[in-house]
């Protein structure tokens, strides 16, 4: 298992649709092991393969939930169907997301309160469950990565402008930026997993 660098917004792999996994083999299992190792080192609750520069439809998570899904898991070639988010503005205290590929920044975003999740495990067995609350948010966030979207792409006008300023301020938005979990300073300044850093 190897901790891999996490690429930052502007890297092309983050902004294009990932490709389906075609072979459920030792190569896939090794990649998933690296993803778990990287997610843990980054204190993240989720990680999509494009975030380590691999354009495949895979994401991992580590999040307690009351939905009957494993607290720690992986899904390959997933399909996530969320409920429609409420139309009001997001709560700036209780609906704040962060992302390991937009390190150190966080912004409020409205998401669907529920999500149907289906796909496969690393051995090609079918997986399906219903996610709610923050676990549903995590599933939507990671699934977006596989379709070429970051959460900052979904922000309303007010928070979207702030996010664009933050990207410019940090010199991101173009290829070549990454950070190394466990080596570089933790961009979110914590030593234990935080539920908002996906």
Give the residue numbers annotated as catalytic, written as ranges. 142
Residues 6 or more apart whose CB falls under 8 angstroms from that of 86 comprise 110
Dihedral of the alpha carbons of 102, 51, 172, 10, in degrees to the nearest 10: -130
Alpha helices per DSSP H over the chain: 26-41, 133-146, 157-169
The residue behind tokens 């660098």 is 5
Q: Are strands 102-108 and 96-99 parallel, antiparallel or unpaired?
A: antiparallel
Cβ pair 63, 45 in contact under 8 A? yes
- SS3 (DSSP) at 155: coil
Residues 6+ apart with CB under 8 A from 26: none
């Amino acid at each position: 298992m190897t901790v891999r660098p996490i690429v930052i917004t502007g890297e092309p792999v983050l902004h294009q649709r990932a490709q389906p996994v075609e072979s459920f083999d030792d190569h896939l299992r090794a990649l998933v092991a690296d993803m778990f190792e990287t997610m843990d080192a980054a204190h993240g609750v989720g990680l999509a393969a494009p975030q380590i520069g691999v354009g495949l439809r895979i994401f991992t998570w580590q999040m307690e939930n009351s939905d009957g899904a494993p607290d720690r898991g992986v899904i390959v070639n997933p399909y996530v169907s969320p409920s429609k988010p409420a139309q009001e503005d997001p709560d700036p205290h209780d609906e704040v997301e962060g992302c390991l590929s937009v390190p150190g920044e966080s912004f409020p975003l409205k998401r669907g309160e529920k999500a149907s999740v289906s796909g496969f495990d690393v051995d090609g067995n079918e997986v399906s469950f219903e996610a709610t609350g923050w676990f549903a948010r995590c599933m939507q966030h990671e699934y977006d990565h596989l379709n070429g979207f970051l959460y900052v792409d979904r922000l309303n006008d007010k928070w979207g402008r702030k996010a664009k300023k933050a990207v410019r301020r940090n010199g991101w938005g173009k290829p070549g930026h990454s950070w190394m979990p466990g080596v570089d300073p933790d961009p979110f300044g914590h030593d234990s997993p935080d539920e908002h850093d996906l």
